[in-house]
Amino acid sequence: MTEDMNNIEVKSFSEGDRVKGTVTKIEEKQVLVDLEGSKLDGIIPISELSSLHVEKASDVVHEGEVLDLIVTKVEEELLVLSKRKVDAENAWETLEKRFQNNEVFDAEVNEIVKGGLVVDLGVRGFVPASMVEDHFVEDFSDYQGKTLSFKIVELDKEKNRLILSHRIVIEEEKNREKQAILEKLESGQVIEGTIQRLTDFGAFVDIGGVDGLVHISQLSHEHIEKPSDVVKEGEKVQVKVLSVDRDNERISLSIKETLPGPWSNIAEKAPRGTILEGTVKRLVSFGAFVEVFPGVEGLVHISQISHKHIGTPHEVLQEGQTVKVKVLDVNEADQRLSLSMKELEDQNDQVKDYELPEESKGFQLSDMIGDKLKGFK
């Protein structure tokens, strides 16, 4: 084609025209194409290949590939073209639908930049660091090439602004899981959980995407000063569901109710006749309550405290005192334990009945101590 004919054909194109071109040559900074239905050549500068930064044109296109292009500049004998703008125009239409429909979609992370991630969706999508995860991430280098789920949180075609969030997808998924768990939970269920964090008033336990509270009073059968006395963060525990408030998303749990009670097998641990050491916990008018195992108190009735007559237990006992007791009766079903201190006094203070020597038999007591009696006359 002559130069004049080239000029004539070039002038038949205008900026913004859509054309198709076949890649004929890939150079360092540009790509050459044959235009469909024309003898003209076109060039695509490397900057017009993609919305992302491109190091090598061959990373984006290959020879023989047919591309949809837009004319960006009409020169004397060729056209300057853009693949990026076609991709962007096509993309905006799709992206606007996704934004309106609040759609979740997957995309690959193409670049790690200061402040976040870049995703190529035909236009450059930016994921701020705060919108990547629902927790702090110090180093994003592992995210290069990773496919994540996103939602569009801001879209402005005029300003070429597209903001994406992966965090919102995670949070919504967790919330759905939470609601599903809340619906299934029923009082009385026993399930496994993980201690998430400890507070002064109890422990929060993750039971599969939702946290429940084990109040300090529900951590152990024994009295404890602080939750860390019996549990630690990260520990797996069995919990019983006490109550579920779905409206306020509050779950009350108990570890204590999954553990053997202090009275379990008490008849085996303290059968009748067993001698135990315990601590006087409470004094009442009719006796003393003595703790013989953690959480197990038995009653020493006032009549079983001493052989001596006493008006009140306070006369001989005080709270906190350590005493030895004998089990008189045990009733596991009613959680009752009857104890005696008096019966141990019998054993300790019993006067032994010794036999007199053979040769002393037949003597009167006065004969044995007669001389000593004379001194008192």
Residue 365 is predicted with a pLDDT of 43
The residue to which tokens 């579920």 are assigned: 244
What is the rounded average pLDDT of the residues 322-351?
Answer: 83
**Is the distance from CB of 251 to CB of 298 less than 8 angstroms?**
no
Residue 275: band (very low, low, confident or very high) from pLDDT cuts 50, 70, 90: very high
Residue 367 in this model has a pLDDT that exceeds 70: no
Residue 112 in this model has a pLDDT that exceeds 70: yes
What is the rounded average pLDDT of the residues 180-191?
Answer: 91
- The Cα–Cα gap between 165 and 154 comes to 9
Lowest mean pLDDT among 62-66, 73-77, 268-272, 335-339: 73-77
- The Cα–Cα gap between 328 and 275 comes to 10
Lowest mean pLDDT among 137-146, 153-162, 322-331, 368-377: 368-377
Of the CATH numbers 1.10.760.10, 2.40.50.100, 3.40.50.300, 2.40.50.140, which one belongs to the domain with range 3-82?
2.40.50.140
Residue 346 is predicted with a pLDDT of 55
Residue 182 in this model has a pLDDT that exceeds 60: yes
How many Å separate Cα 230 from the centre of its chain? 18
Residue 120 in this model has a pLDDT that exceeds 70: yes
Residue 7: band (very low, low, confident or very high) from pLDDT cuts 50, 70, 90: low
Architecture per CATH, 91-170: Beta Barrel (2.40)
Residue 116 is predicted with a pLDDT of 95
Residue 144 in this model has a pLDDT that exceeds 80: yes
Enumerate the CATH 2.40.50.140 domain ranges in the chain, comma separated. 3-82, 91-170, 186-258, 266-348
Where do runs of H (alpha helix) occur along the chain? Answer: 3-10, 84-100, 167-184, 266-269, 342-349, 365-374
Lowest mean pLDDT among 173-182, 275-284, 367-376: 367-376
Phi then psi for residue 86, to 5 deg, are: -65, -45
What is the rounded average pLDDT of the residues 319-332?
Answer: 94
Q: Give this prediction's pTM.
A: 0.55
DSSP string computed for 258-286? GSPPTTTTHHHHS-TT-EEEEEEEEEETT
Residue 223 in this model has a pLDDT that exceeds 90: no
Residue 16 is predicted with a pLDDT of 86
Return the ∠ at Cα 296 (arms to 295 and 301), rounded to 5°. Answer: 135
Residue 369 in this model has a pLDDT that exceeds 70: no
Residue 81: band (very low, low, confident or very high) from pLDDT cuts 50, 70, 90: very high
Digit-coded pLDDT (tens) for 196-218: 999 999 999 999 888 999 999 99
Residue 5 is predicted with a pLDDT of 44
Mean of all residue pLDDT scores within the chain: 86
Residue 221 is predicted with a pLDDT of 83
Residue 249: band (very low, low, confident or very high) from pLDDT cuts 50, 70, 90: confident
Residue 273 in this model has a pLDDT that exceeds 60: yes
Residue 260: band (very low, low, confident or very high) from pLDDT cuts 50, 70, 90: confident
Of the CATH numbers 2.40.50.140, 3.40.190.10, 2.40.30.20, 2.60.120.10, which one belongs to the domain with range 266-348?
2.40.50.140
Residue 368 is predicted with a pLDDT of 43
What is the rounded average pLDDT of the residues 336-363?
Answer: 61
Whole-number CA gyration radius for the chain: 45
Please tell us whether the domain made up of 186-258 is placed in CATH 3.40.1780.10. Answer: no
- The Cα–Cα gap between 141 and 6 comes to 50
Residue 129 is predicted with a pLDDT of 96
Residue 71 is predicted with a pLDDT of 92
Residue 9 is predicted with a pLDDT of 60
